[in-house]
Amino acid sequence: MKQPKYIQKQITQMKVAVVGATGLVGTKMLQVLAERNFPVTELIPVASEKSIGKEITFKGKQYKVVSVEDAIKMKPDVAIFSAGGSTSLQQAPLFAAAGTTVIDNSSAWRMDPTKKLVVPEVNAHVLTADDKIIANPNCSTIQMVVALKPLHDKYKIKRVVVSTYQSVTGTGVKAVDQLFNERNGIDGPKVYPYTIDLNVIPQIDVFTENGYTKEEMKMILETKKIMGDESIQVTATTVRIPVMGGHSESVNVEFANDFDLNELRALLAKSPGIVVVDDPANLKYPMPLDAHDKDDVFVGRLRRDETQPNTLNCWIVSDNLRKGAATNAVQIAEYLAAAHLIGQPVEA
């Protein structure tokens, strides 16, 4: 994976809380922290009351799950949240008031005008030491803006039309259970309103008054905020499909300026966090199975939209639990550490 410029040798050590440590994304965050060798000097796993006292393993050591109250008293340098919006609204300010920097994976703070919404490859530069609650964007938004940012800088995006094909893992472990129960003929609990196996459900989250779902509106509003450009027009259709491994997106992008397709492909290939898989002659294109457990955003099926000028069609795939959630949150923490905005500096 091509790393952003901010990734450098860490010269900080820090106390890290993971709130929601026993959940699907929280477990993935622990895995990513270990794999990326984040400088954790003390891990504080936090979960709901029913999980307090349970043990989790991190880098071969056992750690007991503690309560929010106990975690705050331990004064972590950073708290990475993946415990749902209502929990974050209640608990993130408590950590922030104690001096902890919170990186929140829920939708609670994303559109709050006083909070930064960050994808490190796109806008990490907006972060300061005063940002005590930082929002991690929606998974489908993250992978799209990673691919769009270098194109916007070069050609200026006017309009984006995106249709998503999203993994059941985006809903959580109960959705994964529903899929495999259906596949195995087991009558179990359902989190979707319809059967998901051998089906496609054109609804993610609840519908809003304008006929779009909340997931679709997240992509529309978050893209503008992250890219720092309200002039970008975005329209979205988000769809749940019975796959594991990652989310896929069909994206149509209209630019203000024309582009050379080979130049555009080369630009993407050299941009941080992106892997171009675009060889139709040999049937090479991104798929969720290939993206599974990887941190990159994969881009392919690059071609001109022949119905109007300055317009590109492309296909974007990424692991929604990693770059779409855990990895992006950890990368934010990495940026903060490298910029000495969190942690305790030590001698190099």
Question: Angle at Cα 263 formed by Cα 298 and Cα 232, nearest 5°?
Answer: 70
Do 166 and 247 form a contact (C-beta atoms < 8 A)? yes
Q: Provide the pLDDT for residue 346.
A: 56
Q: Provide the pLDDT for residue 8.
A: 46
Over residues 170-218, the pLDDT tens digits come to: 999 999 999 999 999 999 999 999 999 999 999 999 999 999 999 999 9
Residue keyed to tokens 């270990």: 34
Q: How many CA atoms does the CB half-sphere of 304 hold within 13 Å? A: 11
Percent of the chain with pLDDT over 70: 95
What fold is seen in the domain 140-320? Dihydrodipicolinate Reductase; domain 2 (3.30.360)
Which residues share a beta bridge with 201? 240
Mean residue pLDDT across the chain: 95
Helices 214-227, 139-155: axis angle to 10 degrees equals: 40
Rounded CA gap, 297 and 64, in Å? 34
Over residues 114-130, the pLDDT tens digits come to: 999 999 999 999 999 99
Catalytic residues: 139, 247
What is the rounded average pLDDT of the residues 244-270? Answer: 98
Q: How sure is the predictor about 12, in pLDDT bands with cuts at 50, 70 and 90?
A: low
What is the rounded average pLDDT of the residues 301-327? Answer: 98
Q: Provide the pLDDT for residue 348.
A: 47
Q: Where are the domains of the chain?
A: 12-137+325-345, 140-320
Q: Provide the pLDDT for residue 280.
A: 97
Q: Provide the pLDDT for residue 84.
A: 87
Q: Provide the pLDDT for residue 67.
A: 96
Residue keyed to tokens 């489908």: 140
Q: Give one DSSP letter per residue of 112-178, joined into a string.
A: -TTSEE--HHHHGGG--TT--EEEPPPHHHHHHHHHHHHHHHHH-EEEEEEEEEE-GGGT-HHHHHH
Q: How many CA atoms does the CB half-sphere of 240 hold within 13 Å? A: 22
Rounded CA gap, 239 and 270, in Å? 30
Q: Provide the pLDDT for residue 345.
A: 61
Which residues share a beta bridge with 300? 315
Domain 12-137+325-345 has CATH 3.40.50.720: yes
Q: Provide the pLDDT for residue 74.
A: 97
Do 47 and 55 form a contact (C-beta atoms < 8 A)? no
Give the CA dihedral 84, 52, 91, 332, nearest 10 degrees.
-70
Over residues 56-101, the pLDDT tens digits come to: 999 999 999 999 999 999 999 999 999 889 999 999 999 999 999 9
The pair of three-digit structure tokens given for residue 263, joined into one six-digit string: 């130049």
Supply φ then ψ for residue 67, to 5 degrees.
Answer: -80, 165
